[in-house]
Amino acid sequence: MVDASHTPGDLASAQRRVMAVIDSYRPLAVAFSGGVDSTCLLALAAQGGREGLLAVTGLSPALPSADLERARATAIQLGVKHVEVTTGELGDENYAANPVNRCFFCKSELYARIREVLPDATWTIADGNQADDVGDWRPGMVAAQRAGVVSPLMEAGIGKDLVRAFSRQWGLVTADLPSSPCLASRLPYGERVTEERLRRIECAERALFELGFVELRVRHLGATARVELSEGDLRRLHSADLDSRVREVVLASGFGDVLVDERPLRSGRLNEDLAL
């Protein structure tokens, strides 16, 4: 199915542009989280052949289990060899202390582990950063640059709109999946990242998804969970009288109290008070 906002010619032209970038970097290992952007990149790369192509997923406590299962299923669907590497960022005090540049240490660890499983030094690592990511606060991009990681979508000027258009055209399960950063992003900077806290967040979010909510975050504020929902999910919360159920399932995940933010979810809210 072709996205209505893009003509077949638009998509074909954009695909040629990004394929030229991808092919210039082969053999290619895609840092593959199973999210919207890295899935699109992997599918594009697979269009040019599976030879010299590898998908590598970091097994991190900050990666939701649902994302890992999606990554595994998508790699099978695309016929791309999939390798999983265990990352150890929680053992790095620079990461665990949760500074404002936490993502730098996480990505540095990921790229180092990916490099270890590549067949030889001719392979290039690629991430899923795309053109709309430019200008945002992303310390992980600094780690990518230092590790020699390339961003073919960004280099070819492919933004989120085209990423979703490609994904719909190919029937990818991520086509309309809301963007969602790693679980550690639910912790305010300075609140230590621990496996226990990450599991508590994942458990609460999974329970809310099971209630039918689509786009959400559970912010870990000490013993309190702040639930942030999209505008549509907030309407559903009140119209279906789900307030008590939301409180019940989040408390059951191990939080001491629950607050529902009446403001619609906006990605990056924890960055807003920073002088970046």
Q: Which residue ranges form the domains of the chain, and what is each CATH number? A: 8-169 (3.40.50.620), 183-271 (3.30.70)
Helix (H) or strand (E) holding 239: helix 231-239
- CA distance readout (Å), 56 to 11, 49, 70: 27, 17, 13
Q: Indicate the pLDDT class of residue 269, thresholds 50, 70 and 90.
A: low
Secondary structure letter of residue 260 according to DSSP: E
**270 has a pLDDT exceeding 90:** no
> Are the C-beta atoms of residues 33 and 128 closer than 8 Å to each other?
yes
Sheet containing 216-221: order of strands = 216-221, 224-229, 257-260
Task: Name the token pair of 154.
Answer: 């960004």
Mean pLDDT for the stretch of residues 143-150: 97
Coil, strand or helix at 195: helix
CB atoms within 10 A of CB 104: 20
Mean pLDDT for the stretch of residues 234-250: 95
Confidence at residue 271, expressed as pLDDT on a 0 to 100 scale: 63
Secondary structure letter of residue 268 according to DSSP: T
Rounded CA-CA distance 185/177 in Å is 18
Residue 27: cis peptide before it, omega within 30 degrees of 0: yes
Over pLDDT 90: what percentage of the chain?
88
